[in-house]
Structure 1
Amino acid sequence: MASASQVAPTVAEVYRASFVDVPASNEIYVAGLGEDSTAGLIEVLADLDEPPTVWLLARESHLKWLRRDFQLASTAADLVADETLSLRVTEDEFESGLVVGEDSVISLVQTADQVAGLRTDDAEFVAAMRERCDESWEDTTPFDLRTPARSRVYETLADTFGSEVEADFRAMLEAVKTTRSDGNALNEVDLTLLAAAAHEIQLYEISRWGEDAGVASKATFSRAKSRLEKPGLIATEKVPIDVGRPRLRLRLGDDQLRGVEASDLPGAAQEMLASAPA
Protein backbone atom coordinates (compact mmCIF):
# COMPACT_ATOMS: atom_id res chain seq x y z
CA MET A 1 0.00 0.00 0.00
CA ALA A 2 0.96 3.66 -0.08
CA SER A 3 3.98 4.59 1.99
CA ALA A 4 2.27 7.50 3.77
CA SER A 5 -1.11 8.82 4.73
CA GLN A 6 -3.05 10.37 1.85
CA VAL A 7 -5.15 13.54 1.68
CA ALA A 8 -7.26 14.11 -1.44
CA PRO A 9 -10.47 15.85 -2.57
CA THR A 10 -12.39 12.58 -2.98
CA VAL A 11 -12.44 9.15 -1.42
CA ALA A 12 -11.88 7.61 -4.86
CA GLU A 13 -8.50 9.34 -5.07
CA VAL A 14 -7.53 7.99 -1.65
CA TYR A 15 -8.44 4.48 -2.79
CA ARG A 16 -6.45 4.93 -5.97
CA ALA A 17 -3.35 6.04 -4.06
CA SER A 18 -3.83 3.24 -1.53
CA PHE A 19 -4.10 0.49 -4.17
CA VAL A 20 -1.49 1.69 -6.64
CA ASP A 21 1.38 -0.44 -5.30
CA VAL A 22 -0.69 -3.37 -4.00
CA PRO A 23 -0.04 -6.68 -5.81
CA ALA A 24 -3.11 -8.09 -7.53
CA SER A 25 -2.69 -11.23 -5.42
CA ASN A 26 -3.34 -9.31 -2.18
CA GLU A 27 -6.65 -9.71 -0.39
CA ILE A 28 -8.03 -6.57 1.22
CA TYR A 29 -10.98 -6.07 3.53
CA VAL A 30 -12.97 -2.85 3.15
CA ALA A 31 -15.55 -2.10 5.85
CA GLY A 32 -17.60 0.66 7.42
CA LEU A 33 -18.26 2.59 4.21
CA GLY A 34 -21.14 4.90 3.41
CA GLU A 35 -22.89 5.08 0.05
CA ASP A 36 -20.54 7.57 -1.63
CA SER A 37 -17.48 5.72 -0.38
CA THR A 38 -18.85 2.46 -1.75
CA ALA A 39 -19.43 4.08 -5.14
CA GLY A 40 -15.88 5.45 -5.12
CA LEU A 41 -14.46 2.01 -4.33
CA ILE A 42 -16.27 0.41 -7.29
CA GLU A 43 -15.17 3.21 -9.60
CA VAL A 44 -11.50 2.75 -8.72
CA LEU A 45 -11.50 -1.05 -8.85
CA ALA A 46 -13.10 -0.95 -12.30
CA ASP A 47 -10.50 1.53 -13.51
CA LEU A 48 -7.37 -0.31 -12.32
CA ASP A 49 -5.59 -2.63 -14.73
CA GLU A 50 -4.61 -5.07 -11.96
CA PRO A 51 -6.78 -4.39 -8.91
CA PRO A 52 -6.31 -6.28 -5.66
CA THR A 53 -8.98 -8.67 -4.44
CA VAL A 54 -11.41 -6.73 -2.23
CA TRP A 55 -13.80 -8.24 0.32
CA LEU A 56 -16.42 -5.61 1.10
CA LEU A 57 -18.33 -5.78 4.39
CA ALA A 58 -21.27 -3.39 4.31
CA ARG A 59 -24.68 -2.76 5.78
CA GLU A 60 -27.58 -4.25 3.86
CA SER A 61 -29.12 -0.80 3.31
CA HIS A 62 -25.95 0.39 1.55
CA LEU A 63 -25.80 -2.65 -0.71
CA LYS A 64 -29.48 -2.32 -1.58
CA TRP A 65 -28.78 1.34 -2.41
CA LEU A 66 -26.05 0.11 -4.74
CA ARG A 67 -28.42 -2.39 -6.36
CA ARG A 68 -30.87 0.41 -7.28
CA ASP A 69 -28.34 2.13 -9.56
CA PHE A 70 -27.77 0.04 -12.69
CA GLN A 71 -24.56 1.87 -13.59
CA LEU A 72 -22.90 1.09 -10.27
CA ALA A 73 -24.47 -2.33 -9.77
CA SER A 74 -23.62 -3.62 -13.26
CA THR A 75 -20.04 -2.42 -12.84
CA ALA A 76 -19.87 -4.15 -9.45
CA ALA A 77 -21.33 -7.28 -11.05
CA ASP A 78 -18.45 -7.30 -13.54
CA LEU A 79 -15.99 -7.06 -10.64
CA VAL A 80 -17.76 -9.90 -8.83
CA ALA A 81 -17.68 -12.04 -11.97
CA ASP A 82 -13.94 -11.38 -12.28
CA GLU A 83 -13.48 -12.36 -8.60
CA THR A 84 -12.06 -8.91 -7.90
CA LEU A 85 -14.88 -7.99 -5.52
CA SER A 86 -16.94 -9.97 -3.01
CA LEU A 87 -19.91 -8.46 -1.15
CA ARG A 88 -21.25 -9.49 2.23
CA VAL A 89 -23.78 -7.95 4.60
CA THR A 90 -22.68 -7.21 8.15
CA GLU A 91 -24.34 -5.54 11.08
CA ASP A 92 -21.02 -5.26 12.92
CA GLU A 93 -20.08 -1.72 13.88
CA PHE A 94 -16.88 -0.36 12.32
CA GLU A 95 -15.66 2.96 13.64
CA SER A 96 -14.99 4.49 10.22
CA GLY A 97 -14.26 3.47 6.68
CA LEU A 98 -11.44 0.94 6.86
CA VAL A 99 -9.10 -0.53 4.26
CA VAL A 100 -7.49 -3.51 5.93
CA GLY A 101 -4.61 -4.89 3.91
CA GLU A 102 -2.17 -7.68 4.60
CA ASP A 103 0.43 -5.33 6.08
CA SER A 104 -1.35 -2.06 6.85
CA VAL A 105 -4.66 -0.48 7.84
CA ILE A 106 -6.02 2.75 6.41
CA SER A 107 -8.76 4.67 8.17
CA LEU A 108 -10.82 7.11 6.09
CA VAL A 109 -11.61 10.48 7.66
CA GLN A 110 -13.70 13.04 5.79
CA THR A 111 -14.27 16.78 6.08
CA ALA A 112 -16.58 18.89 3.92
CA ASP A 113 -14.12 19.05 1.03
CA GLN A 114 -11.30 16.58 1.72
CA VAL A 115 -10.69 12.94 2.58
CA ALA A 116 -7.71 11.63 4.52
CA GLY A 117 -6.48 8.08 4.47
CA LEU A 118 -4.63 7.65 7.76
CA ARG A 119 -2.32 4.64 7.61
CA THR A 120 -0.65 2.44 10.20
CA ASP A 121 1.81 -0.38 9.58
CA ASP A 122 1.88 -1.56 13.20
CA ALA A 123 2.01 -5.33 12.83
CA GLU A 124 0.08 -6.11 16.02
CA PHE A 125 -2.71 -3.67 15.14
CA VAL A 126 -2.93 -4.90 11.54
CA ALA A 127 -3.15 -8.52 12.73
CA ALA A 128 -5.92 -7.64 15.20
CA MET A 129 -7.93 -5.85 12.51
CA ARG A 130 -7.48 -8.73 10.06
CA GLU A 131 -8.71 -11.15 12.71
CA ARG A 132 -11.74 -8.96 13.42
CA CYS A 133 -12.59 -8.78 9.73
CA ASP A 134 -12.02 -12.52 9.30
CA GLU A 135 -14.53 -13.23 12.06
CA SER A 136 -17.07 -10.79 10.67
CA TRP A 137 -16.69 -12.28 7.18
CA GLU A 138 -17.23 -15.83 8.41
CA ASP A 139 -20.45 -14.79 10.17
CA THR A 140 -22.01 -13.27 7.03
CA THR A 141 -23.50 -14.48 3.75
CA PRO A 142 -22.86 -13.21 0.19
CA PHE A 143 -25.06 -10.40 -1.11
CA ASP A 144 -26.81 -10.97 -4.43
CA LEU A 145 -26.75 -7.84 -6.61
CA ARG A 146 -29.51 -9.24 -8.86
CA THR A 147 -27.96 -7.17 -11.64
CA PRO A 148 -26.26 -8.47 -14.79
CA ALA A 149 -22.63 -7.61 -15.43
CA ARG A 150 -22.29 -4.56 -17.66
CA SER A 151 -20.02 -6.38 -20.12
CA ARG A 152 -22.62 -9.15 -20.47
CA VAL A 153 -25.37 -6.63 -21.20
CA TYR A 154 -23.28 -5.00 -23.93
CA GLU A 155 -22.28 -8.35 -25.40
CA THR A 156 -25.79 -9.80 -25.60
CA LEU A 157 -27.26 -6.55 -26.92
CA ALA A 158 -24.73 -6.50 -29.75
CA ASP A 159 -25.24 -10.20 -30.48
CA THR A 160 -29.02 -9.77 -30.64
CA PHE A 161 -29.48 -6.41 -32.37
CA GLY A 162 -26.09 -5.45 -33.77
CA SER A 163 -23.14 -3.30 -32.76
CA GLU A 164 -24.82 0.01 -33.65
CA VAL A 165 -27.62 -0.55 -31.13
CA GLU A 166 -25.10 -1.59 -28.47
CA ALA A 167 -22.93 1.45 -29.20
CA ASP A 168 -25.91 3.80 -28.88
CA PHE A 169 -27.03 2.25 -25.60
CA ARG A 170 -23.47 2.41 -24.27
CA ALA A 171 -23.17 6.10 -25.25
CA MET A 172 -26.47 6.95 -23.57
CA LEU A 173 -25.62 5.05 -20.40
CA GLU A 174 -22.27 6.81 -20.15
CA ALA A 175 -23.92 10.20 -20.76
CA VAL A 176 -26.26 10.11 -17.76
CA LYS A 177 -25.02 10.87 -14.26
CA THR A 178 -27.12 8.16 -12.65
CA THR A 179 -29.73 5.57 -13.53
CA ARG A 180 -31.24 5.79 -10.06
CA SER A 181 -34.94 6.63 -10.45
CA ASP A 182 -35.31 10.22 -9.28
CA GLY A 183 -37.70 12.71 -10.84
CA ASN A 184 -36.94 12.87 -14.55
CA ALA A 185 -33.84 10.66 -14.39
CA LEU A 186 -33.77 7.96 -17.05
CA ASN A 187 -33.03 4.44 -15.89
CA GLU A 188 -31.51 1.54 -17.80
CA VAL A 189 -34.89 0.39 -19.17
CA ASP A 190 -35.73 3.88 -20.46
CA LEU A 191 -32.36 4.12 -22.19
CA THR A 192 -32.76 0.67 -23.71
CA LEU A 193 -36.14 1.67 -25.13
CA LEU A 194 -34.72 4.90 -26.56
CA ALA A 195 -31.93 2.95 -28.26
CA ALA A 196 -34.49 0.47 -29.59
CA ALA A 197 -36.74 3.28 -30.83
CA ALA A 198 -33.83 4.96 -32.60
CA HIS A 199 -33.34 1.71 -34.54
CA GLU A 200 -37.07 0.90 -34.87
CA ILE A 201 -36.90 -2.39 -32.98
CA GLN A 202 -40.07 -4.14 -31.87
CA LEU A 203 -41.11 -3.80 -28.22
CA TYR A 204 -41.55 -7.57 -27.99
CA GLU A 205 -37.98 -8.20 -29.17
CA ILE A 206 -36.26 -5.66 -26.91
CA SER A 207 -38.29 -6.63 -23.84
CA ARG A 208 -37.62 -10.33 -24.43
CA TRP A 209 -33.91 -9.56 -24.65
CA GLY A 210 -34.10 -7.44 -21.51
CA GLU A 211 -35.76 -10.20 -19.53
CA ASP A 212 -33.35 -12.87 -20.78
CA ALA A 213 -30.35 -10.63 -20.03
CA GLY A 214 -31.60 -9.90 -16.51
CA VAL A 215 -32.07 -6.16 -17.08
CA ALA A 216 -35.80 -6.12 -16.24
CA SER A 217 -39.02 -8.03 -16.80
CA LYS A 218 -41.21 -7.67 -19.87
CA ALA A 219 -43.82 -5.99 -17.67
CA THR A 220 -41.27 -3.39 -16.56
CA PHE A 221 -40.39 -2.68 -20.19
CA SER A 222 -44.09 -2.30 -21.01
CA ARG A 223 -44.64 0.19 -18.17
CA ALA A 224 -41.56 2.17 -19.21
CA LYS A 225 -42.82 2.25 -22.80
CA SER A 226 -46.10 3.79 -21.62
CA ARG A 227 -44.24 6.36 -19.50
CA LEU A 228 -42.09 7.48 -22.45
CA GLU A 229 -44.95 7.33 -24.92
CA LYS A 230 -47.20 9.71 -22.98
CA PRO A 231 -44.99 12.83 -23.45
CA GLY A 232 -44.10 11.78 -27.01
CA LEU A 233 -40.53 10.56 -26.52
CA ILE A 234 -41.32 7.33 -28.29
CA ALA A 235 -44.16 6.21 -30.54
CA THR A 236 -45.33 2.83 -31.74
CA GLU A 237 -46.71 1.40 -34.93
CA LYS A 238 -48.46 -1.94 -35.29
CA VAL A 239 -46.67 -4.77 -37.08
CA PRO A 240 -49.11 -7.49 -38.23
CA ILE A 241 -48.15 -11.10 -37.59
CA ASP A 242 -49.69 -14.32 -38.90
CA VAL A 243 -51.19 -15.40 -35.58
CA GLY A 244 -52.19 -13.30 -32.60
CA ARG A 245 -52.26 -9.60 -31.91
CA PRO A 246 -50.04 -7.26 -33.91
CA ARG A 247 -46.71 -6.39 -32.32
CA LEU A 248 -45.48 -2.86 -31.74
CA ARG A 249 -42.49 -1.34 -33.48
CA LEU A 250 -40.80 1.42 -31.50
CA ARG A 251 -39.65 4.68 -33.01
CA LEU A 252 -38.65 8.08 -31.69
CA GLY A 253 -41.82 10.08 -31.27
CA ASP A 254 -40.67 13.67 -31.56
CA ASP A 255 -38.95 15.30 -34.53
CA GLN A 256 -36.45 17.04 -32.24
CA LEU A 257 -35.14 13.65 -31.08
CA ARG A 258 -34.51 12.25 -34.55
CA GLY A 259 -30.97 12.74 -35.75
CA VAL A 260 -29.70 13.59 -32.26
CA GLU A 261 -26.41 11.93 -31.32
CA ALA A 262 -26.91 9.02 -28.95
CA SER A 263 -24.87 10.69 -26.21
CA ASP A 264 -27.15 13.76 -26.41
CA LEU A 265 -30.42 11.83 -26.56
CA PRO A 266 -30.86 11.34 -22.78
CA GLY A 267 -30.49 15.08 -22.16
CA ALA A 268 -33.04 15.94 -24.84
CA ALA A 269 -35.41 13.29 -23.52
CA GLN A 270 -35.09 14.55 -19.93
CA GLU A 271 -35.90 18.09 -21.06
CA MET A 272 -39.08 16.81 -22.69
CA LEU A 273 -40.01 14.86 -19.57
CA ALA A 274 -39.44 17.91 -17.39
CA SER A 275 -41.68 20.11 -19.55
CA ALA A 276 -44.44 17.52 -19.99
CA PRO A 277 -47.74 18.11 -18.12
CA ALA A 278 -48.02 16.15 -14.90
Structure 2
Amino acid sequence: MVNTTTADTPADALDSILQETSAEATLVTTSTDVLAGLADGLASPRHDGENLTVISIPSALKDVRDDYIIAGKLADSGVTLRAAEGDLSNYLVDDTHIWTLIPTASTTVVTRADETTADHVREITDTIAQDSEEFSLRTAGHAELIDDLQSEAADETAKYFDAALKYLDTVPSGRGSKMNEIVLLIAAGVAANEQLFTVGKAAENTQLGSRATVSRTKGDLEDNGLITTEKVPTDVGRPRLRLLPPEETEITSEADFKDYLDDLKAALQ
Protein backbone atom coordinates (compact mmCIF):
# COMPACT_ATOMS: atom_id res chain seq x y z
CA MET A 1 0.00 0.00 0.00
CA VAL A 2 1.28 3.48 -0.92
CA ASN A 3 0.02 6.66 0.72
CA THR A 4 1.07 10.27 0.10
CA THR A 5 0.68 13.06 2.66
CA THR A 6 1.98 16.60 3.01
CA ALA A 7 3.27 18.33 6.14
CA ASP A 8 4.02 22.01 6.64
CA THR A 9 7.58 21.37 7.85
CA PRO A 10 10.09 18.52 8.10
CA ALA A 11 9.54 18.61 11.88
CA ASP A 12 5.79 17.97 11.42
CA ALA A 13 6.47 15.18 8.92
CA LEU A 14 8.99 13.43 11.17
CA ASP A 15 6.82 13.84 14.25
CA SER A 16 4.09 11.92 12.45
CA ILE A 17 6.48 9.27 11.08
CA LEU A 18 8.17 8.65 14.44
CA GLN A 19 4.81 7.84 15.99
CA GLU A 20 4.49 4.93 13.54
CA THR A 21 8.01 3.47 13.50
CA SER A 22 8.92 0.17 15.06
CA ALA A 23 11.75 -0.35 17.56
CA GLU A 24 14.65 -0.08 15.09
CA ALA A 25 14.66 2.51 12.32
CA THR A 26 17.14 4.36 10.10
CA LEU A 27 16.83 7.83 8.62
CA VAL A 28 18.92 8.63 5.55
CA THR A 29 19.01 12.27 4.46
CA THR A 30 21.11 14.93 2.77
CA SER A 31 18.99 17.79 4.13
CA THR A 32 19.99 20.04 7.02
CA ASP A 33 16.32 21.04 7.32
CA VAL A 34 15.35 17.40 7.80
CA LEU A 35 18.01 16.99 10.48
CA ALA A 36 16.79 20.13 12.24
CA GLY A 37 13.22 18.84 11.99
CA LEU A 38 14.34 15.55 13.49
CA ALA A 39 15.90 17.40 16.41
CA ASP A 40 12.60 19.14 17.07
CA GLY A 41 10.69 15.88 16.75
CA LEU A 42 12.97 13.99 19.13
CA ALA A 43 12.70 16.83 21.66
CA SER A 44 9.10 15.75 22.16
CA PRO A 45 8.52 13.36 25.09
CA ARG A 46 6.55 11.18 22.64
CA HIS A 47 9.73 10.06 20.88
CA ASP A 48 12.98 8.33 21.81
CA GLY A 49 16.07 8.48 19.62
CA GLU A 50 17.89 5.59 21.28
CA ASN A 51 16.79 3.13 18.58
CA LEU A 52 17.18 5.52 15.65
CA THR A 53 20.24 5.69 13.39
CA VAL A 54 20.73 8.73 11.15
CA ILE A 55 22.99 8.60 8.11
CA SER A 56 23.76 11.86 6.34
CA ILE A 57 26.43 13.62 4.32
CA PRO A 58 29.28 15.25 6.29
CA SER A 59 28.39 18.81 5.25
CA ALA A 60 24.81 18.54 6.56
CA LEU A 61 25.98 16.98 9.83
CA LYS A 62 28.57 19.72 10.30
CA ASP A 63 25.89 22.37 9.71
CA VAL A 64 23.86 20.77 12.49
CA ARG A 65 26.85 20.55 14.82
CA ASP A 66 27.54 24.24 14.23
CA ASP A 67 24.18 25.26 15.73
CA TYR A 68 23.93 24.53 19.45
CA ILE A 69 20.13 24.77 19.45
CA ILE A 70 19.93 21.81 17.04
CA ALA A 71 23.01 19.93 18.23
CA GLY A 72 21.98 20.06 21.89
CA LYS A 73 18.55 18.58 21.11
CA LEU A 74 20.12 15.74 19.13
CA ALA A 75 22.67 15.12 21.88
CA ASP A 76 19.84 14.76 24.41
CA SER A 77 17.92 12.34 22.17
CA GLY A 78 20.51 9.56 22.14
CA VAL A 79 20.25 9.20 18.36
CA THR A 80 23.23 7.61 16.56
CA LEU A 81 24.68 9.81 13.82
CA ARG A 82 26.78 8.49 10.95
CA ALA A 83 28.47 10.30 8.05
CA ALA A 84 28.49 8.80 4.57
CA GLU A 85 29.91 10.04 1.29
CA GLY A 86 28.14 9.72 -2.04
CA ASP A 87 24.62 10.22 -3.33
CA LEU A 88 22.02 9.65 -0.64
CA SER A 89 18.25 9.85 -0.83
CA ASN A 90 15.85 11.16 1.84
CA TYR A 91 13.92 8.36 3.51
CA LEU A 92 13.25 6.57 6.78
CA VAL A 93 12.92 2.78 6.95
CA ASP A 94 11.96 0.29 9.64
CA ASP A 95 10.98 -3.40 9.49
CA THR A 96 7.73 -2.88 7.59
CA HIS A 97 7.59 0.64 6.13
CA ILE A 98 9.55 3.07 3.98
CA TRP A 99 8.80 6.78 4.27
CA THR A 100 10.23 8.81 1.40
CA LEU A 101 10.73 12.49 2.29
CA ILE A 102 10.51 15.16 -0.39
CA PRO A 103 11.48 18.43 1.35
CA THR A 104 10.38 21.43 -0.70
CA ALA A 105 8.31 24.45 0.40
CA SER A 106 6.34 21.84 2.34
CA THR A 107 7.39 18.27 3.03
CA THR A 108 5.74 15.50 1.05
CA VAL A 109 5.86 12.02 2.58
CA VAL A 110 5.30 8.92 0.48
CA THR A 111 4.60 5.93 2.74
CA ARG A 112 4.97 2.37 1.47
CA ALA A 113 3.79 -0.46 3.73
CA ASP A 114 5.48 -3.52 2.30
CA GLU A 115 7.73 -5.85 4.32
CA THR A 116 9.47 -7.27 1.24
CA THR A 117 10.36 -3.83 -0.08
CA ALA A 118 11.31 -2.65 3.40
CA ASP A 119 13.68 -5.62 3.78
CA HIS A 120 15.33 -4.75 0.46
CA VAL A 121 15.73 -1.08 1.41
CA ARG A 122 17.12 -2.05 4.80
CA GLU A 123 19.76 -4.23 3.12
CA ILE A 124 20.83 -1.27 0.98
CA THR A 125 20.76 1.00 4.03
CA ASP A 126 22.85 -1.46 6.06
CA THR A 127 25.49 -1.40 3.31
CA ILE A 128 25.54 2.40 3.42
CA ALA A 129 25.87 2.26 7.20
CA GLN A 130 28.80 -0.17 7.01
CA ASP A 131 30.65 2.26 4.73
CA SER A 132 29.89 5.25 6.96
CA GLU A 133 31.66 6.66 10.02
CA GLU A 134 30.24 7.60 13.39
CA PHE A 135 29.78 11.35 13.70
CA SER A 136 30.24 13.16 17.03
CA LEU A 137 28.34 16.32 17.92
CA ARG A 138 31.11 17.24 20.38
CA THR A 139 28.72 19.03 22.70
CA ALA A 140 26.56 18.61 25.75
CA GLY A 141 22.84 18.10 25.44
CA HIS A 142 20.52 20.83 26.69
CA ALA A 143 18.99 18.62 29.39
CA GLU A 144 22.40 17.40 30.54
CA LEU A 145 23.66 20.94 31.05
CA ILE A 146 20.47 22.11 32.73
CA ASP A 147 20.61 19.14 35.12
CA ASP A 148 24.21 19.98 35.99
CA LEU A 149 23.36 23.62 36.55
CA GLN A 150 20.54 22.60 38.88
CA SER A 151 22.96 20.52 40.95
CA GLU A 152 25.97 22.86 40.85
CA ALA A 153 24.40 26.31 40.64
CA ALA A 154 21.29 28.23 41.60
CA ASP A 155 17.99 27.09 40.12
CA GLU A 156 17.70 30.56 38.56
CA THR A 157 20.78 29.92 36.41
CA ALA A 158 19.28 26.72 34.99
CA LYS A 159 15.94 28.47 34.47
CA TYR A 160 17.47 31.34 32.52
CA PHE A 161 19.62 29.02 30.40
CA ASP A 162 16.54 26.99 29.50
CA ALA A 163 14.69 30.22 28.66
CA ALA A 164 17.51 31.27 26.33
CA LEU A 165 17.39 27.95 24.46
CA LYS A 166 13.65 28.32 23.94
CA TYR A 167 13.88 31.99 22.92
CA LEU A 168 16.69 31.93 20.37
CA ASP A 169 16.21 30.37 16.94
CA THR A 170 19.90 29.63 16.42
CA VAL A 171 23.13 29.68 18.45
CA PRO A 172 26.24 29.20 16.30
CA SER A 173 28.71 26.94 18.11
CA GLY A 174 32.39 27.24 18.82
CA ARG A 175 35.09 29.84 19.07
CA GLY A 176 34.45 31.12 15.57
CA SER A 177 31.07 32.47 16.68
CA LYS A 178 30.66 35.44 19.00
CA MET A 179 27.14 34.55 20.19
CA ASN A 180 27.86 30.93 21.03
CA GLU A 181 26.77 28.47 23.72
CA ILE A 182 29.40 29.70 26.20
CA VAL A 183 28.07 33.25 25.88
CA LEU A 184 24.57 31.86 26.46
CA LEU A 185 25.71 30.08 29.61
CA ILE A 186 27.43 33.20 30.94
CA ALA A 187 24.33 35.27 30.13
CA ALA A 188 22.24 32.89 32.24
CA GLY A 189 24.79 33.27 35.04
CA VAL A 190 24.60 37.05 34.72
CA ALA A 191 20.81 36.99 35.02
CA ALA A 192 21.04 34.83 38.16
CA ASN A 193 24.07 36.70 39.63
CA GLU A 194 25.92 33.37 39.59
CA GLN A 195 29.61 32.94 40.36
CA LEU A 196 31.92 32.53 37.37
CA PHE A 197 33.52 29.51 39.07
CA THR A 198 30.18 27.66 39.18
CA VAL A 199 29.36 28.43 35.55
CA GLY A 200 32.81 27.27 34.46
CA LYS A 201 32.48 24.08 36.47
CA ALA A 202 29.14 23.25 34.81
CA ALA A 203 30.64 23.84 31.36
CA GLU A 204 33.59 21.59 32.15
CA ASN A 205 31.46 18.86 33.78
CA THR A 206 29.36 18.52 30.63
CA GLN A 207 32.26 19.13 28.19
CA LEU A 208 30.50 22.20 26.83
CA GLY A 209 33.80 24.03 27.20
CA SER A 210 36.78 24.37 29.52
CA ARG A 211 36.94 26.74 32.47
CA ALA A 212 39.64 28.62 30.58
CA THR A 213 37.28 29.12 27.64
CA VAL A 214 34.53 30.35 29.97
CA SER A 215 36.95 32.72 31.70
CA ARG A 216 38.29 34.04 28.40
CA THR A 217 34.77 34.61 27.08
CA LYS A 218 33.84 36.38 30.31
CA GLY A 219 36.82 38.68 29.84
CA ASP A 220 35.81 39.53 26.27
CA LEU A 221 32.24 40.32 27.32
CA GLU A 222 33.41 42.44 30.23
CA ASP A 223 35.91 44.35 28.07
CA ASN A 224 33.03 45.22 25.74
CA GLY A 225 30.77 46.40 28.55
CA LEU A 226 28.29 43.56 28.11
CA ILE A 227 28.66 42.21 31.64
CA THR A 228 30.18 43.36 34.92
CA THR A 229 31.61 41.37 37.82
CA GLU A 230 32.23 41.80 41.51
CA LYS A 231 34.62 39.98 43.81
CA VAL A 232 33.19 37.53 46.33
CA PRO A 233 35.43 36.85 49.36
CA THR A 234 36.18 33.22 50.20
CA ASP A 235 37.50 31.63 53.40
CA VAL A 236 40.56 30.28 51.59
CA GLY A 237 42.35 31.49 48.47
CA ARG A 238 41.60 34.23 46.03
CA PRO A 239 38.16 35.88 45.86
CA ARG A 240 35.80 34.53 43.23
CA LEU A 241 33.90 36.61 40.72
CA ARG A 242 30.14 37.08 40.62
CA LEU A 243 28.60 37.67 37.20
CA LEU A 244 26.38 40.76 36.97
CA PRO A 245 24.53 42.67 34.25
CA PRO A 246 26.14 45.72 32.70
CA GLU A 247 25.57 49.04 34.42
CA GLU A 248 22.05 50.45 34.05
CA THR A 249 20.71 47.01 33.05
CA GLU A 250 18.34 45.24 35.41
CA ILE A 251 17.24 41.63 34.98
CA THR A 252 14.41 40.70 37.30
CA SER A 253 12.19 38.70 34.95
CA GLU A 254 12.31 36.45 31.91
CA ALA A 255 11.16 39.39 29.77
CA ASP A 256 14.14 41.43 31.00
CA PHE A 257 16.41 38.50 30.20
CA LYS A 258 15.09 38.23 26.65
CA ASP A 259 15.76 41.95 26.16
CA TYR A 260 19.29 41.38 27.46
CA LEU A 261 19.79 38.51 25.01
CA ASP A 262 18.62 40.76 22.17
CA ASP A 263 21.17 43.38 23.25
CA LEU A 264 23.93 40.76 23.41
CA LYS A 265 23.05 39.40 19.98
CA ALA A 266 23.04 42.88 18.44
CA ALA A 267 26.36 43.80 20.06
CA LEU A 268 28.08 40.56 19.03
CA GLN A 269 26.98 40.41 15.38
Smaller-chain TM-score bracket: 0.7 to 0.9
Deviation at 1:242, TM superposition (A): 6.5
- Residue 46 of structure 1 is matched in structure 2 by 43
Write the distance in 2 (CA, Å) between the matches of 1:185 and 1:140: 33
Match of 1:141 in 2: 133
Structure 2 residue aligned with 1:28: 25
Given the superposition, is the C-alpha separation of residues 79 and 269 from structure 1 closer, same or farther in structure 2, using an over 3 Å criterion? closer
For residue 90 of structure 1, what is the aligned residue in structure 2?
84
Cα displacement (A) at 1:28: 1.3
Superposition deviation, residue 135 in structure 1: 1.3
Question: Percent identity over the alignment?
Answer: 29
Question: Structure 2 CA distance, aligned partners of 1:222 and 1:206?
Answer: 10
- CA distance in 1 between partners of 2:97 and 2:192 (Å): 52
Aligned to 1:13: 12
1:205 alignment partner, SS class: helix
Matched, 1:209 2:206: no
In 2, distance between residues paired with 1:220 and 1:266?
24
The answer as to 2:182 corresponding to 1:167 is no
Q: Summarize the alignment of residues 1-278 of structure 1 with structure 2, pairs less than 5 Å apart.
A: 4-23=3-22, 25=23, 27-51=24-48, 53-80=51-78, 85-94=79-88, 96-111=89-104, 113-180=105-172, 186-240=179-233, 245-259=238-252, 261-262=253-254, 264-271=256-263, 274=266
The aligned length equals: 267
Q: 1:274 to 1:116 in 2, by over 3 A?
A: same
Name the SS of the counterpart of 1:47 in structure 2.
coil
Decide whether the 8 Å contact of 2:250 with 2:256 is kept in 1: no
CA 1:88–1:13 in structure 2 vs 1: closer, same or farther (change >3 Å)? same
- Matching residue's letter, 1:20: Q
Q: Aligned-pair distance for 1:216?
A: 0.9
CA 1:130–1:273 in 2, change beyond 3 Å: closer, same or farther? closer
Distance 1:199 1:171 in 2: 12
Q: Which runs of 5+ in 2 are unaligned?
A: none
Contact 1:33 1:98 in 2 (8 A): no
Cα distance per residue 1:36-62 (max 9 Å; x no partner): 110101211221524473210112222
Instruction: State the one-letter code of the partner of 1:86.
Output: T
Report the Cα distance in structure 1 between the residues aligned to 2:235 and 2:155, rounded to whole angstroms: 29
1:42-90 superposed Cα distances (whole Å, 9 cap, x missing partner): 211221524473210112222222222222222211211xxxx211111
CA distance in 2, matches of 1:39, 1:237: 40
The CA distance in 2 between the partners of 1:239 and 1:48, in whole Å, is 41
Q: For the residues of structure 1 that align with 2:80 and 2:250, how far apart are their CA atoms?
A: 41
Letter in 1 for 2:230: E
Is the partner of 1:102 in helix, strand or coil? coil
The TM-score with structure 2 as length reference comes to 0.86
SS of the residue corresponding to residue 87 of structure 1 reads strand
Which runs of 5 or more structure 1 residues have no equivalent in the other structure? none
